[in-house]
Structure 1
Amino acid sequence: MGFLDITNVTKSYGNVEVLHKVDVEVQEGEFLVLVGPSGCGKSTLLNMIAGLEDITSGDISINGRVVSGVHPSKRNIAMVFQSYALYPNMTVGQNMTFGLEMHGVPKPEREKALADVSKLLQIEQLLDRKPGQLSGGQRQRVAMGRALVRDPDVFLFDEPLSNLDAKLRVDMRTEIKKLHEQLKTTVVYVTHDQIEALTLSTRIAVMNGGYIQQLGTPREIYDTPANIFVATFMGSPAMNIVPAKIKVDNGVVFAELTDAEGQPKLLRTVQSNLAAWDGREILLGIRPEAITDPDGADRKSTHLERLDNRITVTEPAGSDTFVTMTLGGRDVIGRMRADADAAAGQMFEFAINMEKAVAFDPQTEDRIRPD
């Protein structure tokens, strides 16, 4: 049993079921990120934890207490919204302590909580200002502070950084990560940004169409995606998905695919159970960083395959250069060093780390798991 248990939870609007038997256990101190495209059900699930949406069936419990049907104010949760939801006529300090005042917390306790949290968030100098006098990043800190003074069982974040510019989003992401590592609080965080999900979380629930597609650590989600949706949604650039045919030669399993000229190329695989797919089509998934030049390849890998192919596009991106080639009739992106000697139109020797390759069933789109 977890600290926050979501058990067989569904949500329907009329005859339309939008969340389908969701089961998640969140341990105390864990940072769970719900990530997925718009309309996948992640905000609906968060609102059900908060009590802002009714549960159609199933149960949610927090710290051993079933809260299904319990009013939001009685759940001992705190929520940080995308819109900040600050009272414009109140000062920062009043905004942060208003909830405590409404719950009858004595003034000395409110003032101590305010002092502690404002120091933690480094906003002591803002306490007498009104929200209209603050920047977007400052408002977000105040919204977080209002949640922190409550000392709740669970913190809920609903896309809190989506209104910030790119640089401030990165800065606030770091601040939230540091806060969690300091306070060891239990967090459920909703975002559509997979970089936020990978950097902030201890575990990720990838959602699509009202279903949890995969629940796991950031490393599990990234390295061993459960299906093609997870593989292509998580990671930037996305995982390359290439049609290939399995060929077995003297007990060695190869993935055969075509190069830019349509010529067959063989890449030795490391997944022995693919021998059962001899002569059958698969979809081969390879992350861009597993496709590089020989000098930039992972020295620890024991399965680097060399592949000569023509470059179609190069995209310098500061610390990296992204190189596009054609494999299996599809554009495939490799991530090279900034100084890699690669140019559009030239033949190039690629090094492909097959230890990082993942095989998918083209019919079900599920990962073909090793034995």
Structure 2
Amino acid sequence: MGFLDIKNATKSYGAVKVLYETDISVEEGEFLVLVGPSGCGKSTLLNMIAGLEDVTSGDIAIKGRSMIGVKPAERNIAMVFQSYALYPNMTVRGNISFGMEMHGIAKPERERKIGEVAELLQIQPLLDRKPGQLSGGQRQRVAMGRALTRDPDVFLFDEPLSNLDAKLRVDMRTEIKKLHQKLGTTIVYVTHDQIEALTLSTRIAVMYGGYVQQLGTPKEVYDNPANMFVAGFMGSPSMNLFPARVTNHDGTIAAEVRLSDGTQARLPFASGTMAAHEGREIVLGIRPEAITDRDGADRNSSAIHIVEAPVELTEPAGSDTFVATNMGGKDITARFRADVQVKAGDRFPFAINMEKAVAFDPKTEARIA
């Protein structure tokens, strides 16, 4: 039993089912991120934990106590919203204090907690300002400060950074991660941003179509995606997915891939697990960082294979250069070193690390190796 247990929970609106049987057990101090595209059910699940949505079937329990029928105010949870939900007519001090006043906490204790969270979040100079005088990042800190004074069992974050600009999102990600490491609180965090999911979480639940597609650590989800949706959704740029055929030449099992110039490339698999699939059509998955220039390839890998292929496009990106080619009729993105001299129209050697390759069934989209 975990600290927060979601047991076979579903949600329906009339005949429309938006969340299918969901089982997640969250340990105390974990940082669980629910990630997926709009409409996948992640915010619905968060609202069910908060008590803002009823559970159609199944159960949600916190510290072994079922939350079915328990009002949101009685769940000892704190929620940080996308919109911050600050009272515009109150000062920062008033916003942070308001919830404590409603729970009958004495003024000296309120002042002590305000001082603690203001120092923790570095918002002491802002306490007498109103929300309209604050930047987006400052408002988000105030919303977090208000939640922190509750000392809740579980923190719930509903896309808290989506209204911030790109640089501020990165800064606030760092602040939230530091906060979690310092306080050791249990957090459930909803986002559609897979970079947020990978950088913040101790575990990720990737959701799509009302189902949890995969639940695991960031490394598990990134390196060993359960299906093609997870492979394509997690990572930036996303995993390259292209058709191939499993062949056997003199005992070497390889993925045979057609290039844009009509030639065939053979990519031997790093292990013998694909021998059982000889002759089968598959979808091969390889991340951009596993397709690079020859000198940039992983020197610790014994499964680097060179494929000469036409370069279709180059995109300098500061520390890297992204290079596009085509395999199996699909556009492929490779991550080269920034100083590699390569241009569109070249026929260039791509170094492919087959230790990092995964294979999927093109019909079911499930991973087969």
In the alignment, structure 1 segments of 5+ residues that lack a partner are none
* Deviation larger for 101-110 or 209-218: 101-110
- Aligned residue in 2 for 1:158: 158
Give the aligned length: 369
- Aligned residue in 2 for 1:279: 279
**In structure 2, what is the Cα distance between the partners aligned to 1:170 and 1:190?**
16
Shift of the alpha carbon at 1:76? 0.2
**In structure 1, what is the Cα distance between the partners aligned to 2:65 and 2:114?**
28
- Aligned residue in 1 for 2:352: 352
Shift of the alpha carbon at 1:251? 2.5
Matches within 5 A, 1:1-371: 1-369=1-369
> 1:6 aligns to what SS in structure 2?
strand
* 1:35-93 alpha-carbon deviations (Å, 9 max, x no partner): 00000000000000000001100110111111111000000000000000000111101
Shift of the alpha carbon at 1:108? 1.3
> 2:58 aligns to what SS in structure 1?
strand
* 1:255-309 alpha-carbon deviations (Å, 9 max, x no partner): 0001121111100102312111111101000000000011001111111011111
* 1:96-137 alpha-carbon deviations (Å, 9 max, x no partner): 111111011111111111101100000011111111111110
> 1:118 aligns to what SS in structure 2?
helix
> 1:226 aligns to what SS in structure 2?
coil
**In structure 2, what is the Cα distance between the partners aligned to 1:54 and 1:354?**
47
Shift of the alpha carbon at 1:168? 0.5
**In structure 1, what is the Cα distance between the partners aligned to 2:272 and 2:221?**
22
Paired residue type of 1:174? T
Shift of the alpha carbon at 1:342? 1.1
* 1:204-229 alpha-carbon deviations (Å, 9 max, x no partner): 00000000000000000000000000
**In structure 2, what is the Cα distance between the partners aligned to 1:27 and 1:251?**
47
Paired residue type of 1:178? K
Runs of 4+, deviation exceeding 6 Å: none
In the alignment, structure 2 segments of 5+ residues that lack a partner are none
**In structure 1, what is the Cα distance between the partners aligned to 2:150 and 2:346?**
61
* 1:2-46 alpha-carbon deviations (Å, 9 max, x no partner): 100000000000011110010000000000000000000000000
Shift of the alpha carbon at 1:326? 0.9
**In structure 2, what is the Cα distance between the partners aligned to 1:222 and 1:295?**
24
Q: TM-score, normalised by structure 1?
A: 0.98
Shift of the alpha carbon at 1:249? 2.3
**In structure 2, what is the Cα distance between the partners aligned to 1:4 and 1:265?**
49
**In structure 2, what is the Cα distance between the partners aligned to 1:67 and 1:27?**
17
> 1:270 aligns to what SS in structure 2?
coil
> 1:39 aligns to what SS in structure 2?
coil
**In structure 2, what is the Cα distance between the partners aligned to 1:179 and 1:170?**
14
Paired residue type of 1:250? D
> 1:235 aligns to what SS in structure 2?
coil
**In structure 1, what is the Cα distance between the partners aligned to 2:12 and 2:259?**
48
Paired residue type of 2:258? T
**In structure 1, what is the Cα distance between the partners aligned to 2:115 and 2:339?**
50
Alignment RMSD, CA only? 0.7
Shift of the alpha carbon at 1:363? 1.2
Paired residue type of 2:19? L
**In structure 1, what is the Cα distance between the partners aligned to 2:96 and 2:63?**
25
**In structure 2, what is the Cα distance between the partners aligned to 1:115 and 1:108?**
11
**In structure 2, what is the Cα distance between the partners aligned to 1:285 and 1:11?**
33
